[in-house]
Amino acid sequence: MKTTKLTVLMAAALAITAQATIRETNSLRDVANAATTGSFVAFDLDNTLIEPIQTLGSDQWFEHISKQLGIDGAIALWSKVQLKTQVRPVEQTTSSIVREIQDRGVPVIGLTARPLTVAEATLQQLASVGIDLSRTTPIFDDLAFPGHLENAQYTQGIIFAGKNQKGDMIVRFLDRTGLHPSVIVFADDKPKHTASVDSALTAKGINNIEFRYGAADERVKAFDAEIAAVQLHYFDGILDDEAAATLSNR
Ligand SMILES: [Mg+2]
């Protein structure tokens, strides 16, 4: 009983002393600068490292269709598009910055809400822009994380969290791998994910720095549902935005 109380007190003390900040940036360079020796870096994928080359398949399109189709319907349609779409890095320098962090020997992983069903397409998309998140992965084996909402899995340097909270997933990943990084650096375009990772790691007593990353914000704001609708209509070959605008008679 005494031991339990002591453990709880020690955990509480650790939680209070953990350093945590959420910063706002539009440049992945800031994330690289925070990724010092001894740190551990986790990147969101969509609108952080990569985005589709057209409106269809984007995260902002997913948000739009989930209002019409519900979350499961939207995931199904979004996943179908991922099997076909090409992607580009969010910034011109994205891929070289990821490689630069990896070249320092800093462990890097992906932490995405993508479902496991698109794992293969995701790896191909990342490879197409010169990103290999398995290069400095701290663990080579796949790890399965059974979940009450959805099963998650770590494979090839990426945690496919699905509907699970990213904060829960990173803590479970650290528990399973026994890793004790001095600080975790995490970048994501969505405030709900930076908040979830921040609170989960801080509660665990792990120093953490989150970047709410906004390089894709302008394109998210400029989302045009009509462009995406035309592209979906001609889905067998994805139209670029210009062709879709022409076909929509504007
Ligand atoms: Mg994202």
What secondary structure, in 3-state letters, does 150-203 show? CCEEEECCEEECCCCCHHHHHHHHHHHHCCCCCEEEEEECCHHHHHHHHHHHHH
Q: How far apart are CA 58 and CA 222, in angstroms?
A: 12
In tens digits, what is the pLDDT along the chain, a chain of 250 residues?
A: 455 566 666 655 555 567 778 999 999 999 999 999 999 999 999 999 999 999 999 999 999 999 999 999 999 999 999 999 999 999 999 999 999 999 999 999 999 999 999 999 999 999 999 999 999 998 989 999 998 778 999 999 999 999 999 999 999 999 999 999 999 999 999 999 999 999 999 999 999 999 999 999 999 999 999 999 999 998 876 778 887 887 786 6
Q: Which CATH class is domain 17-45+95-215?
A: alpha beta
Tell me, in angstroms, the distance from the centre of ligand 1 to residue 171's CA.
19
How much is the pLDDT for 213?
98
Tell me, in angstroms, the distance from the centre of ligand 1 to residue 136's CA.
21
What's the Cα-to-Cα distance from 77 to each of 29, 124, 197, rounded to whole Å? 33, 19, 28
For residue 212, what are the β-bridge partners?
24, 188
- CB of 191 closer than 8 Å to CB of 3: no
Residue found under tokens 């504007």: 250
Tell me, in angstroms, the distance from the centre of ligand 1 to residue 122's CA.
13
DSSP, res 129: T
Tell me, in angstroms, the distance from the centre of ligand 1 to residue 55's CA.
15
Nearest CA to 215 out of 74, 43, 85, 9 is that of 43
Tell me, in angstroms, the distance from the centre of ligand 1 to residue 37's CA.
25
Tell me, in angstroms, the distance from the centre of ligand 1 to residue 47's CA.
5
Tell me, in angstroms, the distance from the centre of ligand 1 to residue 213's CA.
9
Tell me, in angstroms, the distance from the centre of ligand 1 to residue 50's CA.
9
Tell me, in angstroms, the distance from the centre of ligand 1 to residue 119's CA.
16
Q: Burial, 117: exposed, middle or buried (Cβ in 10 Å; 0-12, 13-18, 19+)?
A: middle
Q: How far apart are CA 76 and CA 54, in angstroms?
A: 19
Question: Apex CA 47: angle with CA 21 and CA 119, to 5°?
Answer: 105
Q: Count how many residues are written for the chain.
A: 250
What's the Cα-to-Cα distance from 93 to each of 28, 50, 101, 189, rounded to whole Å? 8, 11, 12, 17
pTM score = 0.88
Tell me, in angstroms, the distance from the centre of ligand 1 to residue 184's CA.
18
Tell me, in angstroms, the distance from the centre of ligand 1 to residue 250's CA.
30
Q: Burial, 177: exposed, middle or buried (Cβ in 10 Å; 0-12, 13-18, 19+)?
A: middle
Tell me, in angstroms, the distance from the centre of ligand 1 to residue 126's CA.
14
The encoded tokens of residue 117 equal 């069903």
How much is the pLDDT for 232?
93
Residue found under tokens 């969290």: 161
Tell me, in angstroms, the distance from the centre of ligand 1 to residue 186's CA.
12
